[in-house]
Amino acid sequence: MKKDLETMLAGHPFCKDFKREQLRQLAGCAANARYETGRFLLRQGGGATRFFLIRRGLVRVELFMPGRGPVLIQTLGPGEALGWSWLVEPYRWAFSARAAEPTLALAFDGACLRRKLDRDSELGYRILKRFIAVLAARLDATRLQLMDIYGDRVPAA
Amino acid sequence: MATGSQPPEAHPLAPASYRVRARRRETRDTVTLELRAPGGAAAPSWRPGQFNMLGLPGVGEVPISISGGSQDGRLLQHTIRAVGPVTSALAGLRPGGRVGLRGPFGSAWPLEQAAGRDLLVLAGGLGLVPLRPVLRAVAARRRLYGRVSLLYGARAPQDILFRGELAAWRRAGVAVEVAVDRAQPSWRGRVGVVTDLLAGVAPEPGRTDAWICGPEIMMRFSVRELQRLGLDRGGMRLHLSLERNMKCAIGQCGHCQLGPFFICKDGPVFPYDRIAPWLAVEEL
Ligand SMILES: Cc1cc2nc3c(=O)[nH]c(=O)nc-3n(C[C@H](O)[C@H](O)[C@H](O)COP(=O)(O)OP(=O)(O)OC[C@H]3O[C@@H](n4cnc5c(N)ncnc54)[C@H](O)[C@@H]3O)c2cc1C
């Protein structure tokens, strides 16, 4: 079972180039998770105890606005990582995320992982570096979306 | 689609009078015109990625990519987004209307070079137009290629071009993924930028040809993401189509100069290596 998790982790882009021992450490805090369409992976305001590596399916990240209901911010698919609030105090989700189609993910126990990262600074550095890359890509993407690059003022390719 | 790259027979500065045979609305501001060559003759042969200069007397003339054609070579399709005076007048043409056409001009996507390899196509907005003939050609001869993926970014669901064809390409074995920048909660597809979709493809640099067309900023981000995935290490072959504005289309007026190149003549399709030094510069 643990072996399977390690294999799955090794095949996920987030863990590209991780050492065997590091994969084993990660697998120790991971579990397989499956979400049917419409089920929440995490909910705005709730305690951020986990993060997810998506293997299959599609997840909608939504922000609930009073009077407007859920606003669709972005979607995440296979090969992507979901959730970093488990790394940042006060460890609360700022958004909700739910499956837009049947979704398979590796779910990590944040507290378990934080303990390991505190103990093993090499692993901690790797993981943080990966999260920085995820955050940087997300920030770039958000900027591009805000720039409205396909909008009226930029006509053709 | 016709193949080969003979220059147009007429003088390159003299337009031929084409007639609009059909007009199809693609989105709120974009239409596809189907044009017939004068006297029902065959249109000059063209290759995917090339463009024509379309003009209307007293209004002006603009470069527009060739978005498709008929098997017999008699019809040409152009997909036009109304953004200013000339494109609005062109997009407003009705069946029976006439348009001046010079072309085809410019370089083409290196389809022959991609045979036997994986093909990764990234399109942003109207950038899908010059890639549509590529996808049609690939879908028709799917076995010639390895993995083929189209990653397409659009502004919103209602701006997605060629919806029916996207589905047809999917059926033909092309992995088609679409992401929009923004959408209502009722949208069931992906929201994000086109580079997000790369996570699901995991291209293999050593055996992939990647072709990109879209707003320059989208192309820059895409190149950066491909570099992060090992493009420069594994020998991934990358081409971009640069569609900066131009006037004469034959390398005379200098309007579209980029470093030592004329986009109209040396481009619009360039190997990334050749233009990389000039791409990064602001406000060229
Ligand atoms: C090789 C090539 C292929 C093209 N293919 C297509 C196509 O298939 N379909 C299509 O609709 N358009 C295409 N274009 C763009 C098209 O040529 C321009 O939209 C057109 O020239 C605008 O003319 P206009 O008189 O309608 O508007 P203008 O008043 O000239 O322009 C309106 C606004 O668009 C901006 N603009 C004009 N051209 C460009 C450009 N190339 N890139 C970014 N901004 C621009 C102007 O700065 C202005 O803000 C292509 C351009 C090139 C160079």
Half-sphere exposure of B154 (CA within 13 A, CB side): 19
Q: How confident is the model at residue B9 (pLDDT cuts 50, 70, 90)?
A: low
**Nearest alpha carbon to residue B270 among B200, B204, B202, B219:** B219
B153 and A CB contact within 8 Å: yes
Per the domain annotation, does A59 fall within a domain? yes
Looking at per-residue pLDDT, the higher value among B282 and B235 belongs to B235
Which among A149, A152, A153 is the top mutation candidate for probing chain B, defined by the most B β-carbons within 10 Å of its own β-carbon?
A149
Chain B residues whose beta carbon lies within 8 Å of the beta carbon of residue A59: none
Q: Do B155 and A151 touch (CB under 8 A)?
A: yes
Q: Select from B196, B226, B227 the residue whose CB has the most chain A CBs within 10 Å, as the one to mutate to test that interface.
A: B196
Q: How is residue B60 written in tokens? A: 């002006």
What mean pLDDT comes out for the span B266-279? Answer: 85
> If you classify domain B111-283 with CATH, what class do you get?
alpha beta
Please report, rounded to a whole number, the percentage of residues in chain A having pLDDT higher than 70: 94
Q: Which residues of B touch A98 (CB under 8 A)?
A: none
Helix/strand/coil for A52: strand
The string of pLDDT tens digits covering residues B80-137 is 999 999 999 999 999 999 999 998 999 999 999 999 999 999 999 999 999 999 999 9
Q: What is the pLDDT of residues B169-178, one digit of tens each?
A: 999 999 999 9
Q: Residues A80, A141: contact at Cβ < 8 Å?
A: no
Residue in A32, A40, A87 with CA at minimum distance from that of residue A59 = A40
Strand order from edge to edge, sheet including A96-99: A40-42, A96-99, A59-65, A69-76
Asked if ipTM goes beyond 0.85, one says no
* Phi (first) and psi of residue A119, to 5 degrees: -75, -40
According to the model, what pLDDT value does residue B279 have?
A: 74
A28 CB-contact burial (10 Å; exposed 0-12 / middle 13-18 / buried 19+): middle
DSSP state of B28: T
For chain A, what is the domain count?
A: 1
CA A131/CA A114 separation, integer angstroms: 13
Look at residue B178 and give its three-state secondary structure.
Answer: strand
Computed over every residue of chain B, the mean pLDDT equals: 88
* Percent of residues, chain B, with pLDDT higher than 90: 65
- Pairwise CA distance, residues B63 & B267, whole Å: 12
> Taking Cα atoms as reference points, which of A32, A9, A31 lies closest to residue A126?
A9
Distance CA B159, CA B91 (A): 16
Contacts of A130 (CB under 8 A, 6+ apart): A14, A15, A81
B181 touches chain A (CB under 8 A): yes
Q: How much distance in Å is there from the Cα of B215 to the middle of ligand 1?
A: 11
Distance B136 CA to ligand 1 centre (A): 24
Chain A contact for B131 (CB, 8 A cutoff):
no
Nearest to A155 among B83, B154, B179 (CB): B83
For tokens 């990764």, name the residue. B120
Instruction: Tell me: pLDDT of A154 over 70.
Output: no
Q: Among A121-125, A147-151, B193-197, where is mean pLDDT lowest?
A: A147-151
CATH 2.40.30.10 placement within chain B: 16-105
CB A12 within 8 A of CB A90: no
CATH number of B16-105: 2.40.30.10
Whether residue B284 is predicted with pLDDT greater than 50 in this model: the reply is no
Q: Is residue A38 part of a domain?
A: yes
A75, A134, A140: which to substitute to probe chain B, counting the most B Cβ within 10 Å? A75
Residues of the domain holding A40: 2-144
Query: What is the distance in A from the centroid of ligand 1 to the CA of B64?
Result: 8
Cα–Cα distance between B259 and B280 in angstroms, integer?
A: 11
Residue of B nearest to A138 (CA): B196
Which pLDDT band, with edges at 50, 70 and 90, does A157 fall under?
very low
List the single range of A137-146, B21-30, B72-81 with lowest mean pLDDT.
A137-146
Q: Do A157 and B127 touch (CB under 8 A)?
A: yes
Of B34, B219, B243, B253, the one to substitute when testing ligand 1's pocket (max ligand atoms within 8 A of C-beta) is: B243
Report the residue from B129, B183, B241 with minimal CB separation from A72.
B183
Nearest to B222, CA basis, from B263, B257, B179, B160: B179
CATH number of residue A124's parent domain = 2.60.120.10
Chain-chain contact of A79 with B126 (C-beta, under 8 angstroms): no
Q: Measured in angstroms, how far is the CA atom of residue B46 from the centroid of ligand 1?
A: 21
Confidence of residue A146 (pLDDT cuts 50, 70, 90): confident
Residue whose pair of structure tokens reads 């050492």 in the numeric block: A19
- Contact (CB, 8 A) for B249 and B12: yes
Residue bearing the bigger pLDDT, B11 or B167: B167
